[in-house]
Amino acid sequence: MMFTSLIKESLKKTNPDYFKEIYNYGNDKNNKKTKNFCFSIFMKNYKLSSDVFEVNNLVKFYLSSPDMDFVINLYNGLLNLGDFDYKSFKLSLKKIFLLPDEKITKGMILFKTMSPILIVDKNKHFISPYSDEFPKELNYILDLEIRNASSQGLKKEVEFQPVEMKKTIVKLEITDFKNQTGKQFMFLEAYKGSFKLTGDPDDLKSIYDLGIGFRRNQGFGMIGVV
Question: Which of these three, 57, 91, 125, is where a domain ends?
Answer: 91
Residue 151 is predicted with a pLDDT of: 87
Residue 103 lies in a domain: no
Residues 138 and 37 in one domain: no
Residue 36 lies in a domain: yes
Per the DSSP assignment, residues forming a β-bridge with 156 are none
pLDDT in tens, the chain (226 residues): 999 999 999 999 999 999 999 998 766 667 777 899 999 999 988 998 888 889 988 899 999 999 999 999 999 999 999 899 998 899 999 999 999 999 999 999 999 999 999 999 999 999 999 999 999 999 999 999 999 999 899 999 999 999 999 999 999 888 888 888 888 899 999 999 999 999 999 999 999 999 999 999 999 999 999 9
CA end-to-end span of the chain = 27
Residues 140 and 207 in one domain: yes
> What CATH number does the domain containing 66 carry?
3.30.70.1890
Total tally of structural domains belonging to the chain: 2
> What CATH number does the domain containing 181 carry?
3.30.70.1900
Residues 60 and 167 in one domain: no
Under a CB-based contact definition with an 8 Å cutoff, are residues 199 and 205 in contact? no
Compute how many other C-beta atoms are within 10 angstroms of the C-beta atom of residue 50. 4
What is residue 138's DSSP assignment?
H
Helix then strand count (H, E) for the chain reads: 6, 12
